Structure 1
Amino acid sequence: MTTRHLRIGAAYHGVGGPGQHSLWKNPELAPDAGVRIEKYIEWARIAEEGKLDFFFIADSTFITPDSPPHYLNRLEPLTILAAVSTATSRIGLVGTLSTSYNSPFNTARRFASLDLISGGRAGWNIVTSTDEGTAGQYGREQHYDYTERYGRALEHVRVVQELWDSYEDDAFPYDVEGDRFVDASKLHPVSHHGQYYDVEGPLNAIRSPQGQPVIFQAGNSDEGRDLGAEVAEAVFTFAPSLEAGQAFYTDIKARALARGRGGDEILVLPGVSPIVADTVEEARAIERAIHDAKPFDKQLGIFSRAFGWHDFTQYDLDAPFPELGDIGELSARTQSRVIKAYAREHGLTLRETVLHFTGFTPSPFAGTAETVADELERWFTEGALDGIILLQNLPSDFRRFTGEVLPILRARGLFRGEYEGDTLRSHLGLAVPENRHAVADGGSRVGAEPARASA
């Protein structure tokens, strides 16, 4: 058992994610950073130098002219991570892939390949695709509704996990003298016929040193939380306050326990955008300036994403928030329902609604290195998170966090000084999953890295 400490990953958003429409002009960045692999590698190496747990790539495929700059021109996650794996040696590699518009066999093969290429450092961030327009990219007239999206997601994951167990860990004796390349008794067929998928296996790839890629999941609806509680080992979320973080943390752990899982089998990792400056006042001024630089028309465009990129420019901004009916039900249903209800309850105009939901909210994680470390420790010890995913944009800001905040956390015993293992599971304190066929035969994990659980 090792001492419980923060788990920290770093996401990369190239030239800017939601609300960052002018970031691409910053001289620290290259305007085409989203398609330059050396920029991804640079970020991953900063993360690895800081001994962070993983490097994280978010993804979506549907775009409009209102999409954030990075979304408009970027590389595909699994391709990125395969390249990054050859330029790093310890950092975990987590990529987003939708269960709605991929087949389980292809998912299983791609992540198994990344896991083997990287020596057991792969993680899969499960999403079900928020953007309704994604349907047309894959030949569908309409996006899946919530019930089917999450039903497909659960079945998809279960089939992928079964495919990952196609071979037992000692299935390849490579016995030259005995002319035995494979032990056929340890290759297990997969024949899945479910509600949404029919898949024939087995998969033509053995398991990596960590057994299976780590399952991440992002989704805040009831269906999303249930999926995370059922299959996720780490949940990516957002928490605007300590109290909101504690509520989500308590809820997701309770849902996991209700499914027979231990609370330490699922990590809660909210996205955090720290601003570190010489004084708290300077950090707050930087934070305010970043927000005030966002043009309203761009904010209106991003606001529309929750409603399937509905065109809000057709409405009078100073008239009451429009009646939208079912618009948003097939995209970000939870978020769009909250917005509609709040606007109706408070009698807001469209402009007031947009400003409320995109308005300035001071971050708990803006200040000096000491105050940022204090707040991270408080959220950690008071049950709001198990760790964080850093959502920073400039290399200088990232290096300031790793160079100033992490040493304070290390001095307090809250973060590692060196890697203790070589796989993503070892970094996160997650056990290596047993191969289901070896368990059925009474066997055990062969050649496994020792499981490291949190205290």
Structure 2
Amino acid sequence: MRKTQMKLGLSMRYLGYHDAAWRHPEVPPGGATDFKYFLNSARIAERGKFDMVFFADGIGIRADDNPPGSLARSNRNAELEPLTLLSALAASTSHIGLVSTASTTYNEPFHIARKFASLDNISGGRAGWNIVTSWSEQEAWNFSRDAHLDYDTRYDRAKEFVDVVTGLWDSWEADAFVHDKASGQFYDPAKLHVLNHRGKHFSVRGPLNAPPTPQGRPILVQAGAAEQGQEIAAANADVVYAAQVDLAGAKAYYAGLKARMAKYGRAPDLLKVMPAVTTIVGRTRAEAQAKFDQLQELIDPLVGLASLFNAFGDLSGHPLDGPVPEPVNAKVRSIAYNMWNLAQRENLTIRQFYQKKSAGSGGLLLKGTAEDVADVMEQWIDEEAADGFNLTPTHLPHGAEDFVELVVPELRRRGRFRSEYESTTLRGNLGLPEYVNRHTAGRQRTALASD
């Protein structure tokens, strides 16, 4: 029986996902605002035949100076706007998917529909939108709000937001633009559809003033673990970017999410679950450990405590070598309790926990040889805990280079990852079926019924 191949993405925010990444001697500290720095990382991922590069995003500096003095020691402040960056990357890459976060709380559906449709056209069918609701008060303050919207309101708005965006993407059927110079007809009016949406949060007439896209519509990615977010993913998403730290939890999440899809008339294979994984890989285990130790030694204690603040609040009044307290009023409850449960299982102190947290993205952390890393990744695929992984490297470009040079060949040797791209579109490389415009599909169903 043919072994299931996995999907791979590279998350490229800032300088990597280790809190001390900017202090690594080989990392340019100003790289997060340097296009060439990101282009180099994207080309490494494309050389490795990754499915996509992925940019998380926040519309503001999502941190306070807690504990005092920590903010000035972090590199997570100034960065490039990701859609602008991805549009530039599109012209310098040829196959790799280009996925960015965009908030449903601090945007309007028409803007998002137009921007991602444009990126899909510019890139030849490689765009993806990561749907998030945002969570920080800092973002609210940048958009004329004193406080962030509550959970239920954010997700209610997000559901309608996605409905409007996908409706706008279907404004034009694929063959609407006939461009007939002889007759003077530019488009077929029967294949233009005005949305006329009126809902609780939005009133959007349409149509979208962007042409049909090479993928039919951009890929939809969802990264929230909350109940409402999982429903949005089950109904709409092509990819879920998950944060799971152990096999049992990942299997439960995977099974639960796929089971939700049936009520929306969707087959489980239409959704690819890709947990975050941070890898520290060497040709020997000792080499991998040395790489890890070098970064760990660069963690500033204030930055370590700051990394826990959004989940646990200010822990500077607790003994660093004491237990991790239960979250109180966490900004993102699902993430906070995933973190706390991990600390309980492993009996970690606050110091040990911020060291562990500082090492990656809060997801799976793997350290060792290529064989060690591939063993775990293969197990997660075989036991239906994942369809692939989103690599969140400790530091860029080195974490990506190590993975492409060492782990990718091992995955190929095992028949677990491609040697060449199967398609020029992100949808095709993910193994997803061609998207058919809803109006075209309706016309086809009517024609079949009348035969």
TM range (shorter): 0.7 to 0.9
* Structure 1 counterpart SS, 2:187: coil
8 Å contact from structure 2 (residues 305, 314) kept in 1: no
Q: Once the 2 structures are TM-superposed, how far is the Cα of residue 89 of structure 1 from its aligned partner?
A: 0.8
Count of equivalent residues: 430
CA separation of 1:23 and 1:3: change in aligned 2, threshold 3 A: closer
* Structure 2 counterpart SS, 1:153: helix
Partner of 1:39: 37
CA separation of 1:4 and 1:179: change in aligned 2, threshold 3 A: farther
8 Å contact from structure 1 (residues 48, 91) kept in 2: yes
Partner of 1:419: 421
Q: Once the 2 structures are TM-superposed, how far is the Cα of residue 115 of structure 1 from its aligned partner?
A: 0.4
Letter in 1 for 2:54: F
* Identity rate, percent: 40
For 1:409 and 1:155, the matched residues in 2 are separated by: 40
CA separation of 1:28 and 1:337: change in aligned 2, threshold 3 A: closer
Equivalent positions of 1:98-137 (< 5 A) are 98-137=103-142
* Structure 1 counterpart SS, 2:137: coil
Letter in 2 for 1:284: Q
Q: Once the 2 structures are TM-superposed, how far is the Cα of residue 383 of structure 1 from its aligned partner?
A: 1.2
For 1:168 and 1:422, the matched residues in 2 are separated by: 21
Q: Once the 2 structures are TM-superposed, how far is the Cα of residue 402 of structure 1 from its aligned partner?
A: 1.0
Equivalent positions of 1:161-240 (< 5 A) are 161-240=166-245
Q: Once the 2 structures are TM-superposed, how far is the Cα of residue 357 of structure 1 from its aligned partner?
A: 4.3
8 Å contact from structure 1 (residues 241, 364) kept in 2: no
CA separation of 1:30 and 1:156: change in aligned 2, threshold 3 A: same
Matched, 1:282 2:280: no
CA separation of 1:385 and 1:197: change in aligned 2, threshold 3 A: same
8 Å contact from structure 2 (residues 41, 396) kept in 1: no
TM-score by length of 2: 0.88
Partner of 1:30: 28
Post-superposition Cα deviations, 1:18-38, rounded to whole Å, max 9, x if no partner, equal x51x32133322221111111
CA separation of 1:430 and 1:321: change in aligned 2, threshold 3 A: closer
Gaps of 5+ in 1: 445-455
TM-score by length of 1: 0.87
Post-superposition Cα deviations, 1:5-29, rounded to whole Å, max 9, x if no partner, equal 1100111133244x51x32133322
For 1:443 and 1:221, the matched residues in 2 are separated by: 36
* Structure 2 counterpart SS, 1:441: helix
Q: Of 139, 154, 157, which aligns to 2:159?
A: 154
Q: Once the 2 structures are TM-superposed, how far is the Cα of residue 422 of structure 1 from its aligned partner?
A: 0.5
Q: Aligned-residue CA RMSD in angstroms?
A: 2.8
CA separation of 1:82 and 1:342: change in aligned 2, threshold 3 A: closer
Partner of 2:439: 437
CA separation of 1:29 and 1:284: change in aligned 2, threshold 3 A: closer
Letter in 2 for 1:272: V
For 1:118 and 1:413, the matched residues in 2 are separated by: 29
Partner of 2:10: 10
* Structure 2 counterpart SS, 1:207: coil
* Structure 1 counterpart SS, 2:98: strand
Matched, 1:387 2:388: yes
Q: Once the 2 structures are TM-superposed, how far is the Cα of residue 39 of structure 1 from its aligned partner?
A: 1.0
8 Å contact from structure 1 (residues 125, 216) kept in 2: yes
8 Å contact from structure 1 (residues 288, 360) kept in 2: no
Q: Once the 2 structures are TM-superposed, how far is the Cα of residue 397 of structure 1 from its aligned partner?
A: 3.0
Partner of 2:409: 407
CA separation of 1:39 and 1:69: change in aligned 2, threshold 3 A: farther
For 1:294 and 1:321, the matched residues in 2 are separated by: 19
Gaps of 5+ in 2: 447-451
For 1:324 and 1:276, the matched residues in 2 are separated by: 32
CA separation of 1:230 and 1:292: change in aligned 2, threshold 3 A: farther
Q: Of 222, 231, 256, which aligns to 1:251?
A: 256
Q: Once the 2 structures are TM-superposed, how far is the Cα of residue 237 of structure 1 from its aligned partner?
A: 1.2
Partner of 1:358: 354
Letter in 1 for 2:181: V
Letter in 2 for 1:5: Q
Q: Once the 2 structures are TM-superposed, how far is the Cα of residue 341 of structure 1 from its aligned partner?
A: 9.3
